[in-house]
Amino acid sequence: MADSAEQVYERVCAHVRRTALLSSIEELLGWDERTMLPKGGGGYRAEQITLLSGMVHERWTDPRLGDWLGELAAGPLAADRFSDTGANLRWLKREHERRAKLPKALVEELARTAVLGQQAWDQARKNDDFAAFRPLLEKLIGLKRQEAEALGYSESPYDALLDEYEPDQRTSQLVEVLGRLRDELVPLVDAIRESGRRPDASILARTYPVDMQESFGREAAARIGFDFERGRLDVTNHPFCCSPGPDDCRITTRYDEHAFAGAFFGILHEAGHGIYEQGLRADQAGLPLGQAVSLGLHESQSRMWENLVGRSRAFWEHFFPLAKRRFSALTDVALDDFCFAINDVRPSLIRVEADEATYNLHILIRFELERALLEDDLQAGDLPGAWNEKYRAYLGIEPPNDADGVLQDIHWSAGLVGYFPTYTLGNLYAAQFFARAEADLGGLADSFRRGDFRPLFDWLRANIHRQGRRYSAGELVEHVTGAPLSHGPLVEHLRGKFEPLYGGR
Protein backbone atom coordinates (compact mmCIF):
# COMPACT_ATOMS: atom_id res chain seq x y z
CA MET A 1 0.00 0.00 0.00
CA ALA A 2 1.38 3.40 -1.00
CA ASP A 3 2.17 5.93 1.67
CA SER A 4 -0.35 8.72 2.18
CA ALA A 5 0.48 12.32 1.25
CA GLU A 6 0.69 13.11 4.97
CA GLN A 7 3.27 10.35 5.50
CA VAL A 8 5.38 11.55 2.58
CA TYR A 9 5.15 15.12 3.90
CA GLU A 10 6.37 14.00 7.33
CA ARG A 11 9.27 12.22 5.62
CA VAL A 12 10.17 15.45 3.80
CA CYS A 13 10.00 17.47 7.03
CA ALA A 14 12.19 14.99 8.91
CA HIS A 15 14.79 15.06 6.12
CA VAL A 16 14.85 18.86 5.92
CA ARG A 17 14.97 19.31 9.70
CA ARG A 18 17.97 16.99 9.94
CA THR A 19 19.64 19.01 7.19
CA ALA A 20 18.90 22.17 9.19
CA LEU A 21 20.72 20.65 12.17
CA LEU A 22 23.88 20.34 10.06
CA SER A 23 23.44 23.93 8.83
CA SER A 24 23.07 25.12 12.42
CA ILE A 25 26.41 23.51 13.32
CA GLU A 26 27.97 25.27 10.33
CA GLU A 27 26.48 28.57 11.52
CA LEU A 28 27.84 28.06 15.03
CA LEU A 29 31.31 27.45 13.62
CA GLY A 30 30.93 30.67 11.62
CA TRP A 31 29.99 32.61 14.76
CA ASP A 32 33.03 31.21 16.57
CA GLU A 33 35.27 32.07 13.62
CA ARG A 34 34.28 35.73 13.81
CA THR A 35 34.34 36.09 17.59
CA MET A 36 36.59 33.54 19.33
CA LEU A 37 38.75 31.64 16.84
CA PRO A 38 42.53 31.96 17.37
CA LYS A 39 44.35 33.55 14.45
CA GLY A 40 46.06 30.29 13.56
CA GLY A 41 42.86 28.28 13.42
CA GLY A 42 41.51 29.65 10.16
CA GLY A 43 42.87 26.95 7.87
CA TYR A 44 41.40 24.03 9.81
CA ARG A 45 38.14 25.90 10.31
CA ALA A 46 37.91 26.24 6.54
CA GLU A 47 38.13 22.46 6.23
CA GLN A 48 35.48 21.94 8.92
CA ILE A 49 33.02 24.27 7.23
CA THR A 50 33.84 22.82 3.81
CA LEU A 51 32.96 19.34 5.07
CA LEU A 52 29.67 20.50 6.54
CA SER A 53 28.77 22.53 3.43
CA GLY A 54 29.25 19.46 1.29
CA MET A 55 27.11 17.33 3.60
CA VAL A 56 24.33 19.92 3.62
CA HIS A 57 24.47 20.17 -0.18
CA GLU A 58 24.21 16.39 -0.56
CA ARG A 59 21.10 16.30 1.59
CA TRP A 60 19.43 19.20 -0.24
CA THR A 61 20.13 17.60 -3.62
CA ASP A 62 19.21 14.04 -2.58
CA PRO A 63 17.10 12.61 -5.46
CA ARG A 64 14.72 11.09 -2.94
CA LEU A 65 13.86 14.58 -1.70
CA GLY A 66 13.14 15.64 -5.26
CA ASP A 67 10.90 12.62 -5.79
CA TRP A 68 8.95 13.28 -2.57
CA LEU A 69 8.48 16.95 -3.37
CA GLY A 70 7.43 16.12 -6.92
CA GLU A 71 4.89 13.64 -5.61
CA LEU A 72 3.41 16.21 -3.22
CA ALA A 73 3.50 19.21 -5.58
CA ALA A 74 0.26 18.34 -7.38
CA GLY A 75 -1.53 17.01 -4.31
CA PRO A 76 -3.93 18.49 -1.77
CA LEU A 77 -1.22 19.50 0.71
CA ALA A 78 0.21 21.95 -1.84
CA ALA A 79 -3.11 23.16 -3.25
CA ASP A 80 -3.29 26.28 -1.06
CA ARG A 81 0.11 27.92 -1.53
CA PHE A 82 -0.37 30.04 1.61
CA SER A 83 -1.35 27.18 3.95
CA ASP A 84 1.31 25.79 6.30
CA THR A 85 1.94 22.72 4.13
CA GLY A 86 1.55 24.64 0.88
CA ALA A 87 4.06 27.31 1.85
CA ASN A 88 6.59 24.77 3.11
CA LEU A 89 6.33 22.62 -0.01
CA ARG A 90 6.55 25.62 -2.36
CA TRP A 91 9.75 26.91 -0.77
CA LEU A 92 11.34 23.48 -0.32
CA LYS A 93 10.80 22.61 -3.98
CA ARG A 94 12.31 25.93 -4.97
CA GLU A 95 15.37 25.39 -2.75
CA HIS A 96 15.90 21.79 -3.90
CA GLU A 97 15.77 22.79 -7.56
CA ARG A 98 18.11 25.74 -7.04
CA ARG A 99 20.74 23.74 -5.16
CA ALA A 100 20.54 20.82 -7.59
CA LYS A 101 21.99 23.11 -10.26
CA LEU A 102 25.20 23.62 -8.26
CA PRO A 103 28.03 21.06 -8.40
CA LYS A 104 29.08 19.85 -4.97
CA ALA A 105 32.72 20.67 -5.74
CA LEU A 106 31.82 24.30 -6.41
CA VAL A 107 29.79 24.55 -3.19
CA GLU A 108 32.69 23.16 -1.18
CA GLU A 109 35.26 25.40 -2.83
CA LEU A 110 33.10 28.46 -2.20
CA ALA A 111 32.75 27.52 1.47
CA ARG A 112 36.48 26.94 1.89
CA THR A 113 37.48 30.12 0.06
CA ALA A 114 34.96 32.21 1.99
CA VAL A 115 36.50 31.21 5.33
CA LEU A 116 40.01 31.87 4.06
CA GLY A 117 38.81 35.09 2.46
CA GLN A 118 37.41 36.40 5.74
CA GLN A 119 40.67 35.58 7.50
CA ALA A 120 42.64 37.37 4.77
CA TRP A 121 40.27 40.35 4.85
CA ASP A 122 40.62 40.72 8.61
CA GLN A 123 44.40 40.96 8.38
CA ALA A 124 44.35 43.12 5.25
CA ARG A 125 42.01 45.63 6.89
CA LYS A 126 44.13 45.78 10.02
CA ASN A 127 47.23 46.34 7.89
CA ASP A 128 45.55 48.59 5.29
CA ASP A 129 46.86 46.19 2.65
CA PHE A 130 44.46 45.60 -0.25
CA ALA A 131 47.20 43.88 -2.27
CA ALA A 132 47.31 41.06 0.30
CA PHE A 133 43.57 40.51 -0.03
CA ARG A 134 43.36 40.84 -3.80
CA PRO A 135 44.23 37.20 -4.76
CA LEU A 136 41.44 35.77 -2.62
CA LEU A 137 39.00 38.38 -3.85
CA GLU A 138 39.82 37.48 -7.45
CA LYS A 139 39.28 33.81 -6.68
CA LEU A 140 35.96 34.50 -4.95
CA ILE A 141 34.65 36.61 -7.83
CA GLY A 142 35.63 33.85 -10.26
CA LEU A 143 33.76 31.28 -8.16
CA LYS A 144 30.69 33.51 -7.95
CA ARG A 145 30.69 33.83 -11.75
CA GLN A 146 30.72 30.03 -11.95
CA GLU A 147 27.84 29.90 -9.49
CA ALA A 148 25.79 32.38 -11.52
CA GLU A 149 26.37 30.41 -14.72
CA ALA A 150 25.39 27.14 -13.03
CA LEU A 151 22.19 28.64 -11.65
CA GLY A 152 21.27 30.38 -14.88
CA TYR A 153 19.64 33.76 -15.44
CA SER A 154 17.51 35.57 -17.98
CA GLU A 155 18.97 39.08 -17.88
CA SER A 156 22.12 39.48 -15.78
CA PRO A 157 24.38 37.04 -13.89
CA TYR A 158 23.75 39.30 -10.92
CA ASP A 159 20.12 38.08 -10.94
CA ALA A 160 21.23 34.55 -10.07
CA LEU A 161 23.14 35.67 -6.99
CA LEU A 162 20.62 38.29 -5.85
CA ASP A 163 17.93 35.59 -5.89
CA GLU A 164 19.63 33.76 -3.01
CA TYR A 165 19.13 36.71 -0.67
CA GLU A 166 16.01 38.36 -2.12
CA PRO A 167 14.04 35.66 -3.95
CA ASP A 168 12.30 36.75 -7.16
CA GLN A 169 13.96 40.19 -7.15
CA ARG A 170 15.68 41.24 -10.40
CA THR A 171 18.62 43.53 -11.10
CA SER A 172 16.52 45.65 -13.46
CA GLN A 173 13.96 46.20 -10.70
CA LEU A 174 16.71 47.22 -8.30
CA VAL A 175 18.16 49.69 -10.78
CA GLU A 176 14.71 51.28 -11.08
CA VAL A 177 13.88 51.47 -7.36
CA LEU A 178 17.37 52.64 -6.38
CA GLY A 179 17.25 55.26 -9.12
CA ARG A 180 13.93 56.65 -7.90
CA LEU A 181 15.20 56.74 -4.34
CA ARG A 182 18.46 58.43 -5.38
CA ASP A 183 16.49 61.11 -7.24
CA GLU A 184 14.67 61.94 -3.97
CA LEU A 185 17.67 61.66 -1.68
CA VAL A 186 20.13 63.87 -3.54
CA PRO A 187 17.98 67.04 -3.30
CA LEU A 188 17.21 66.29 0.35
CA VAL A 189 20.90 65.90 1.23
CA ASP A 190 21.73 69.02 -0.78
CA ALA A 191 19.08 71.02 1.10
CA ILE A 192 20.45 69.81 4.42
CA ARG A 193 23.97 70.78 3.40
CA GLU A 194 22.85 74.21 2.23
CA SER A 195 20.82 74.90 5.39
CA GLY A 196 24.01 75.75 7.27
CA ARG A 197 22.68 74.05 10.42
CA ARG A 198 25.00 71.55 12.08
CA PRO A 199 24.70 69.67 15.36
CA ASP A 200 27.54 69.45 17.83
CA ALA A 201 28.57 65.92 16.89
CA SER A 202 31.51 66.08 19.30
CA ILE A 203 29.01 65.20 22.03
CA LEU A 204 29.16 61.60 20.83
CA ALA A 205 32.97 61.55 20.75
CA ARG A 206 33.43 62.28 24.44
CA THR A 207 34.56 59.49 26.77
CA TYR A 208 32.01 56.70 27.15
CA PRO A 209 33.55 53.79 29.09
CA VAL A 210 33.18 50.53 27.21
CA ASP A 211 31.82 48.56 30.16
CA MET A 212 29.02 51.10 30.64
CA GLN A 213 28.31 51.15 26.90
CA GLU A 214 27.91 47.38 27.04
CA SER A 215 25.53 47.38 30.00
CA PHE A 216 23.48 50.30 28.63
CA GLY A 217 23.23 48.65 25.22
CA ARG A 218 22.14 45.35 26.75
CA GLU A 219 19.48 47.15 28.77
CA ALA A 220 18.09 48.91 25.70
CA ALA A 221 18.12 45.69 23.64
CA ALA A 222 16.21 43.88 26.37
CA ARG A 223 13.68 46.70 26.69
CA ILE A 224 12.77 46.60 23.00
CA GLY A 225 12.28 42.85 23.20
CA PHE A 226 15.53 40.90 22.68
CA ASP A 227 15.42 37.86 24.96
CA PHE A 228 18.79 37.32 26.64
CA GLU A 229 17.57 33.98 28.02
CA ARG A 230 17.68 32.81 24.40
CA GLY A 231 20.42 35.10 23.13
CA ARG A 232 23.77 36.71 23.89
CA LEU A 233 25.84 39.77 22.97
CA ASP A 234 29.52 39.51 22.02
CA VAL A 235 32.29 41.55 20.40
CA THR A 236 33.50 41.19 16.82
CA ASN A 237 35.29 43.24 14.17
CA HIS A 238 32.19 43.49 11.94
CA PRO A 239 28.83 43.26 13.75
CA PHE A 240 26.38 40.53 12.77
CA CYS A 241 23.57 38.32 14.06
CA CYS A 242 23.21 34.57 13.72
CA SER A 243 20.87 31.91 15.08
CA PRO A 244 22.35 28.42 15.41
CA GLY A 245 19.02 27.25 16.83
CA PRO A 246 15.48 28.42 17.62
CA ASP A 247 16.47 29.29 21.20
CA ASP A 248 20.05 30.38 20.49
CA CYS A 249 20.47 33.81 18.90
CA ARG A 250 23.89 35.53 18.89
CA ILE A 251 24.28 39.27 18.30
CA THR A 252 27.57 41.17 18.20
CA THR A 253 28.91 44.72 18.18
CA ARG A 254 32.21 46.61 18.46
CA TYR A 255 33.08 49.34 20.96
CA ASP A 256 35.03 52.58 20.90
CA GLU A 257 35.02 54.68 24.05
CA HIS A 258 35.00 57.81 21.90
CA ALA A 259 32.15 56.76 19.60
CA PHE A 260 28.96 56.21 21.57
CA ALA A 261 26.65 55.97 18.56
CA GLY A 262 28.55 53.18 16.80
CA ALA A 263 28.12 50.54 19.46
CA PHE A 264 24.72 51.62 20.78
CA PHE A 265 22.93 51.78 17.44
CA GLY A 266 24.85 48.70 16.32
CA ILE A 267 23.34 46.82 19.26
CA LEU A 268 19.84 48.06 18.46
CA HIS A 269 20.37 47.07 14.83
CA GLU A 270 21.51 43.54 15.62
CA ALA A 271 18.86 43.19 18.34
CA GLY A 272 16.28 43.94 15.65
CA HIS A 273 17.62 41.02 13.63
CA GLY A 274 17.59 38.91 16.78
CA ILE A 275 14.00 39.81 17.69
CA TYR A 276 12.95 38.61 14.23
CA GLU A 277 14.82 35.32 14.69
CA GLN A 278 13.39 34.82 18.17
CA GLY A 279 9.88 35.49 16.85
CA LEU A 280 9.92 32.77 14.20
CA ARG A 281 7.72 29.75 14.86
CA ALA A 282 9.63 27.19 16.96
CA ASP A 283 7.24 24.42 15.87
CA GLN A 284 8.41 25.06 12.29
CA ALA A 285 12.15 25.21 13.09
CA GLY A 286 14.19 24.03 10.12
CA LEU A 287 11.27 24.46 7.72
CA PRO A 288 10.41 27.50 5.57
CA LEU A 289 7.64 28.65 7.93
CA GLY A 290 10.29 28.86 10.65
CA GLN A 291 12.65 31.00 8.55
CA ALA A 292 12.87 34.65 7.52
CA VAL A 293 11.47 35.30 4.06
CA SER A 294 14.42 37.32 2.72
CA LEU A 295 17.42 39.33 3.82
CA GLY A 296 15.67 42.55 2.85
CA LEU A 297 12.80 41.68 5.20
CA HIS A 298 15.34 40.76 7.87
CA GLU A 299 17.06 44.09 7.39
CA SER A 300 13.74 45.90 7.71
CA GLN A 301 13.50 44.70 11.29
CA SER A 302 16.99 45.82 12.25
CA ARG A 303 16.72 49.20 10.55
CA MET A 304 13.31 49.83 12.06
CA TRP A 305 14.52 49.38 15.64
CA GLU A 306 17.80 51.19 14.96
CA ASN A 307 16.44 54.21 13.10
CA LEU A 308 12.68 54.63 13.11
CA VAL A 309 12.56 53.80 16.82
CA GLY A 310 16.08 54.23 18.21
CA ARG A 311 16.87 57.59 16.62
CA SER A 312 13.46 59.06 17.36
CA ARG A 313 13.07 61.84 19.91
CA ALA A 314 10.34 59.86 21.68
CA PHE A 315 12.74 56.97 22.30
CA TRP A 316 15.24 59.30 23.94
CA GLU A 317 12.65 61.12 25.99
CA HIS A 318 12.57 57.84 27.88
CA PHE A 319 16.21 56.71 27.61
CA PHE A 320 18.10 60.02 27.84
CA PRO A 321 17.59 60.50 31.61
CA LEU A 322 18.93 56.97 32.08
CA ALA A 323 21.90 57.73 29.82
CA LYS A 324 22.70 60.93 31.70
CA ARG A 325 22.84 59.01 34.97
CA ARG A 326 25.09 56.40 33.39
CA PHE A 327 27.52 58.60 31.44
CA SER A 328 29.18 61.68 32.92
CA ALA A 329 29.93 62.83 29.35
CA LEU A 330 26.26 63.78 29.03
CA THR A 331 25.95 65.80 32.23
CA ASP A 332 25.83 69.18 30.46
CA VAL A 333 24.02 67.97 27.31
CA ALA A 334 20.40 68.90 26.55
CA LEU A 335 18.02 66.36 25.02
CA ASP A 336 17.51 68.46 21.88
CA ASP A 337 21.25 68.70 21.30
CA PHE A 338 21.72 64.97 21.79
CA CYS A 339 18.88 64.09 19.40
CA PHE A 340 20.32 66.46 16.81
CA ALA A 341 23.75 64.85 17.20
CA ILE A 342 22.52 61.28 16.68
CA ASN A 343 20.68 62.47 13.56
CA ASP A 344 23.61 64.35 12.11
CA VAL A 345 23.53 64.26 8.29
CA ARG A 346 26.85 64.57 6.53
CA PRO A 347 28.73 62.48 3.97
CA SER A 348 30.89 59.90 5.74
CA LEU A 349 33.27 57.11 4.84
CA ILE A 350 31.90 54.17 6.83
CA ARG A 351 28.64 52.55 5.75
CA VAL A 352 27.62 51.14 9.13
CA GLU A 353 28.05 54.60 10.72
CA ALA A 354 26.26 56.51 7.96
CA ASP A 355 23.19 58.62 8.70
CA GLU A 356 19.76 57.68 7.37
CA ALA A 357 19.79 60.24 4.57
CA THR A 358 23.11 59.23 2.99
CA TYR A 359 23.18 55.52 3.90
CA ASN A 360 21.58 54.31 0.69
CA LEU A 361 24.19 56.10 -1.40
CA HIS A 362 26.77 53.81 0.22
CA ILE A 363 24.68 50.84 -0.89
CA LEU A 364 24.35 52.18 -4.43
CA ILE A 365 28.14 52.40 -4.70
CA ARG A 366 28.60 48.77 -3.62
CA PHE A 367 25.79 47.54 -5.83
CA GLU A 368 27.32 49.16 -8.91
CA LEU A 369 30.83 47.93 -8.13
CA GLU A 370 29.96 44.31 -7.44
CA ARG A 371 27.82 44.16 -10.58
CA ALA A 372 30.80 45.44 -12.56
CA LEU A 373 33.10 42.86 -10.94
CA LEU A 374 30.71 40.00 -11.64
CA GLU A 375 30.06 41.06 -15.22
CA ASP A 376 33.82 41.47 -15.80
CA ASP A 377 33.53 45.20 -16.46
CA LEU A 378 35.87 45.89 -13.53
CA GLN A 379 38.99 44.00 -12.46
CA ALA A 380 39.67 43.35 -8.78
CA GLY A 381 42.97 45.19 -8.97
CA ASP A 382 41.17 48.33 -10.10
CA LEU A 383 38.60 48.16 -7.31
CA PRO A 384 40.25 50.62 -4.85
CA GLY A 385 40.46 53.33 -7.50
CA ALA A 386 36.89 52.73 -8.66
CA TRP A 387 35.69 52.79 -5.04
CA ASN A 388 37.36 56.13 -4.35
CA GLU A 389 36.05 57.62 -7.58
CA LYS A 390 32.47 56.71 -6.71
CA TYR A 391 32.82 58.14 -3.20
CA ARG A 392 33.96 61.41 -4.73
CA ALA A 393 31.06 61.40 -7.19
CA TYR A 394 28.27 60.29 -4.82
CA LEU A 395 29.33 61.72 -1.48
CA GLY A 396 31.97 64.31 -2.29
CA ILE A 397 34.61 62.66 -0.10
CA GLU A 398 37.51 60.28 -0.61
CA PRO A 399 38.83 57.61 1.79
CA PRO A 400 42.33 58.37 3.08
CA ASN A 401 43.17 54.65 2.98
CA ASP A 402 41.77 51.30 1.89
CA ALA A 403 40.97 50.20 5.45
CA ASP A 404 38.27 52.90 5.60
CA GLY A 405 37.53 52.45 1.92
CA VAL A 406 37.27 49.30 -0.12
CA LEU A 407 38.26 47.05 2.80
CA GLN A 408 35.67 48.29 5.29
CA ASP A 409 33.03 45.59 4.67
CA ILE A 410 33.39 41.84 5.20
CA HIS A 411 30.81 40.82 2.58
CA TRP A 412 32.94 40.27 -0.51
CA SER A 413 35.53 38.31 1.48
CA ALA A 414 32.74 35.89 2.44
CA GLY A 415 31.49 35.59 -1.14
CA LEU A 416 28.32 37.55 -0.38
CA VAL A 417 27.84 39.08 -3.82
CA GLY A 418 24.26 40.27 -4.31
CA TYR A 419 23.79 40.91 -0.60
CA PHE A 420 24.29 44.67 -0.38
CA PRO A 421 21.03 45.78 -2.08
CA THR A 422 19.04 44.04 0.64
CA TYR A 423 20.08 46.85 3.02
CA THR A 424 18.28 49.47 0.97
CA LEU A 425 15.34 47.15 0.41
CA GLY A 426 15.26 46.77 4.19
CA ASN A 427 15.03 50.53 4.64
CA LEU A 428 12.14 50.66 2.17
CA TYR A 429 10.30 47.77 3.82
CA ALA A 430 10.90 49.21 7.30
CA ALA A 431 9.37 52.60 6.51
CA GLN A 432 6.33 51.06 4.84
CA PHE A 433 5.75 48.59 7.70
CA PHE A 434 6.21 51.28 10.35
CA ALA A 435 3.69 53.57 8.65
CA ARG A 436 1.18 50.71 8.62
CA ALA A 437 1.86 49.89 12.28
CA GLU A 438 1.25 53.53 13.23
CA ALA A 439 -1.99 53.53 11.24
CA ASP A 440 -3.12 50.30 12.94
CA LEU A 441 -1.98 51.08 16.48
CA GLY A 442 -1.78 54.87 16.74
CA GLY A 443 0.29 56.70 19.36
CA LEU A 444 3.54 54.79 18.90
CA ALA A 445 5.57 57.85 19.90
CA ASP A 446 3.62 58.12 23.16
CA SER A 447 4.38 54.46 23.86
CA PHE A 448 8.09 55.02 23.26
CA ARG A 449 8.11 58.01 25.62
CA ARG A 450 6.79 55.70 28.34
CA GLY A 451 9.42 53.10 27.52
CA ASP A 452 6.69 50.79 26.26
CA PHE A 453 7.76 49.05 23.05
CA ARG A 454 5.35 46.15 23.39
CA PRO A 455 2.64 47.42 21.00
CA LEU A 456 5.09 47.64 18.10
CA PHE A 457 6.82 44.41 19.15
CA ASP A 458 3.51 42.50 19.20
CA TRP A 459 2.42 43.98 15.86
CA LEU A 460 5.68 42.90 14.21
CA ARG A 461 5.48 39.49 15.84
CA ALA A 462 1.99 38.81 14.48
CA ASN A 463 2.28 40.41 11.06
CA ILE A 464 5.85 39.62 10.06
CA HIS A 465 7.82 37.29 12.33
CA ARG A 466 5.20 34.55 12.73
CA GLN A 467 4.52 34.47 9.00
CA GLY A 468 7.91 32.94 8.20
CA ARG A 469 7.99 32.21 4.48
CA ARG A 470 4.25 31.97 4.02
CA TYR A 471 4.53 34.84 1.53
CA SER A 472 7.31 36.15 -0.64
CA ALA A 473 8.75 39.50 0.43
CA GLY A 474 6.66 41.39 -2.12
CA GLU A 475 3.53 39.46 -1.20
CA LEU A 476 4.09 40.09 2.51
CA VAL A 477 4.42 43.84 1.97
CA GLU A 478 1.13 43.92 0.07
CA HIS A 479 -0.58 41.60 2.55
CA VAL A 480 0.43 43.72 5.56
CA THR A 481 0.32 47.25 4.15
CA GLY A 482 -2.23 46.91 1.35
CA ALA A 483 0.18 48.33 -1.23
CA PRO A 484 3.23 47.17 -3.22
CA LEU A 485 6.69 48.24 -2.10
CA SER A 486 7.27 51.95 -2.67
CA HIS A 487 10.04 54.43 -1.95
CA GLY A 488 7.39 56.93 -0.82
CA PRO A 489 7.10 55.99 2.88
CA LEU A 490 10.89 56.11 3.36
CA VAL A 491 11.19 59.52 1.68
CA GLU A 492 8.25 60.80 3.76
CA HIS A 493 9.90 59.52 6.95
CA LEU A 494 13.24 61.15 6.10
CA ARG A 495 11.65 64.47 5.25
CA GLY A 496 9.50 64.37 8.36
CA LYS A 497 12.57 63.85 10.52
CA PHE A 498 15.17 66.05 8.86
CA GLU A 499 13.23 69.08 7.63
CA PRO A 500 12.40 70.18 11.21
CA LEU A 501 16.01 69.58 12.29
CA TYR A 502 17.63 71.37 9.37
CA GLY A 503 14.86 73.70 8.24
CA GLY A 504 15.18 76.11 11.13
CA ARG A 505 11.90 75.29 12.84
With residue 242 as reference, give the H or E element that holds it.
Answer: strand 241-245
Residue ranges in 128-209 assigned as alpha helix (H): 130-151, 157-165, 171-195
**448 half-sphere exposure, CB direction, 13 A CA radius:** 21
DSSP bridge partners of 234 = 252
One of 270, 306, 368, 370 is an active-site residue; which one? 270
Contact 300, 426 (CB under 8 A): yes
Active site residue 375: no
Q: Please report, in angstroms and rounded to a whole number, the separation of the first and last CA atoms in the chain.
A: 77
Q: What phi, psi does 361 have (nearest 5°)?
A: -70, -35
User: Most distant CA pair in the chain: distance in Å?
Assistant: 80
> From CA 31, how far away is CA 231, in angstroms rounded?
13
> From CA 303, how far away is CA 441, in angstroms rounded?
20
Nearest in space to 276 (alpha carbons), one of 258, 256, 291: 291
Contacts of 325 (CB under 8 A, 6+ apart): none
**Residues across the chain:** 505
Handedness of CA 485, 490, 493, 495 (dihedral sign): negative
Which residues are identified as catalytic? 270
